[in-house]
Copies of this chain bind each other. A is one copy, B any other.
Amino acid sequence: MGSSRPRRLVILTEGQWDPHSAKTAHGMIRYGPDTVVAVLDSTQAGRNVAEDLPGHDIPFVATLADALPLSPDALLIGIAPTGGRLPDPWRVTILAALGAGLDVLSGLHTFLGDDPQLAAAAAVSGARIVDYRRPPERMETAVGRLHGPGKRVILAVGTDCAVGKKTVCLELRRAGLRAGQSVAFVPTGQTGMMIEGWGVAVDRVVADFLQGTVEWLVEEGERRGDWVLVEGQGSLDHPAYSSVTLGLIHGATPHGMVMVHTIGQAEHDFDHAPGRRFPVPSLVPFIRLHEEVAGLVAPSKVVAIALNTRLIADDEEARRECARTEAETGLPTDDVVRFGPDRLWAAIVAALEGDDR
């Protein structure tokens, strides 16, 4: 998926700026290579992104017209709703953006490029519609590929979706590059793809080819680096997404897994079944189960815990929670966003360096 980069983006989050609903927006602002000229969200207009994400001086604007003087060249859809549909009121905004010659970048399940009205508007102005979730033509089942010599594959897994698996990978890569290592990140979701410019949204692949696609992505990752960090999706106990998670585990056959967990979260972020509760699993048995399930295809071990301490305001208390989790699991534990990724990365490297399959 080639395109001239970096771009100048307006990111649309209308009414859904919270970090969960707008995780694509937050990811692009924090880790993307592009310049974000404005976030389009009338409910936040007058504020600045830096108030929520320190260091990112980006205005919120109420309308697309307010953003145009900032010379954007693309509108990026900044949300990733369950099921991936386009909120109807956004259609008007997207049409206006295409009319103004802006490319439209989307990670929704609904392919905007297949919408006759949107496609016609793009054709008139010469703008492009990029649907990141569109799967590759390739349709191959997994073949049981072995990893290349000297390569180490690390998969982020988690106790829920949206706990920060992609962020953890990106932070760990940063640490690896700082340490002078050859590190590649393998994007398996639309936001990771927008950030990196390659990858496959594996949840959009035909189920029969999920593991084959992951295997192929890892092969490409191994061409790009010796340490290969694979973005995880969902969680092994998720009522809706666990099969995608297992496809990543058995398709990537990682040497090691990093377990991402939000400390203090009691229940899955899953509100489709009124009255039903899906508790977040206990770490120690969940870790053991990951190793056992992974081992059905290839041996693997959980080598570190990336703790998401966002629910804890106090830094010292967050550090104590990391220490408590480290004692509970016997695994190196840190919040790589809050306290930096270097310590955890060093522990992961130490755990996997000698693992020559």
Q: Output the least CB separation between A244 and chain B (Å).
A: 5
A109 proximity list for chain B (CB < 8 A)? 139, 206, 208
Asked whether any CB of chain B lies closer than 8 Å to the CB of A270, the reply is yes
Contact with B along A88-122 (1 / 0, CB 8 A): 00000000000000000000010000000000000
Q: Does A34 contact B (CB under 8 A)?
A: no
A211 & B236 in contact (Cβ 8 Å cutoff): no
Q: Does A296 reach chain B (CB closer than 8 Å)? A: yes
Which of the candidate stretches A54-62, A68-76, A143-151, A341-349 sits at the interface with the other chain? A143-151
- Our pick among B204, B247, B289, B293 for the contact of A206 (Cβ within 8 Å) is B204
Q: A-side interface residues toward B, CB under 8 Å?
A: 82-84, 109, 139-146, 202-208, 210-212, 236-244, 246-247, 250-251, 270, 272-273, 276, 278, 281, 289, 292-293, 296-297
Pairwise interchain contact B207-A210, C-beta atoms closer than 8 A = yes
One complex includes copies of this chain to the number of 2
**Contact between A142 and B293, CB atoms less than 8 A apart:** no
Q: A238-B250, A242-B297 are in contact. List 19 more A-B contacts (CB 8 A).
A: A83-B140, A83-B141, A141-B272, A142-B239, A142-B272, A143-B240, A143-B273, A144-B240, A144-B272, A144-B278, A146-B276, A205-B207, A211-B239, A236-B293, A242-B246, A243-B247, A243-B251, A281-B296, A289-B296
**Ranked 9 nearest A-B pairs via Cβ:** A144-B273, A243-B247, A237-B296, A143-B272, A203-B208, A142-B240, A141-B240, A243-B243, A243-B246
